Structure formats: structure tokens, C-alpha cells
Amino acid sequence: MSECLFCRVVAGEIPADIGYHDDEFIAFRDIDPQAPVHILVIPREHHPTAAALAAADSDLAGRLVATATSIAEDAGVGGYRLVVNTGAEGGQTVPHVHVHILGGRNMTWPPG
């Protein structure tokens, strides 16, 4: 059994609210949403970080961004933010590369 949380989601060992899947990627709702729409898009294949993915397979990295954009465009929000936290200091807590789609509220910074 994999020790990677998101590999376990891919394997169906941990339940997730999966709204999209294809041969290469799955997307599911974040368990602790930071916005009304908060979706995670991950490759089925394990790569620890965006940098590792880009180095190993830049075409897959490109398709990950394209897939996240397509899911975000279909989410019915006026705009959105794609976030890829990288490394512990970058706020990454799950070492399996994932794109956060955040939207459904005003995402401008600073708020207000």
C-alpha cells in the first residue's frame, strides 16, 4: 500500500469527491475548502512536486495545467486562481503534485 495520500486517493483506498477523471488525471473537492469552489487536480502518476513533474515529463505538466484550466472554466465561476504550492516552505503539505482551483469569491489581493 502506498504511503502517499494522493496515490491512495488514485487507488480508491481513500474516498474522495471525484468530479473528473481521465487516463492521466483526477480532480476532487478539497476536504478543507478555502473558497466556495476548491478543487484539486492531480496526475495519477506520482511526482512529488511541480518541479519534479516538469523535469520528468514536461508534456504531462502542460496537460495538467490545461486540464485544470478546463475544469476551472467548467466550474461556473467568473474567474479563478490556480495554485501549486511547492515544498514545505511553499505551503505544500501533500508531496504528490496537485493544482488547486480556487474560485467563487473575490480572489483579488489584497481583499476589499
Distance CA 16, CA 10 (A): 9
Residues 24-63 that bind Zn ion (CB under 5 A): 46
Q: What is the nearest approach in angstroms of Zn ion to the Cβ of residue 69? A: 22
Alpha carbon distance 62, 105 (integer Å): 27
Question: Could you say which of ligand AMP, Zn ion, none residue 91 binds, taking C-beta under 5 to 8 angstroms by partner kind?
Answer: ligand AMP
Q: Name the residue nearer to ligand AMP (CB basis): 40 or 72.
A: 40
Q: Do 30 and 40 touch, CB atoms closer than 8 A?
A: yes
β-bridge mates for residue 103, sequence order: 37, 80
Q: Give least dist CB 48 to ligand AMP, A.
A: 11
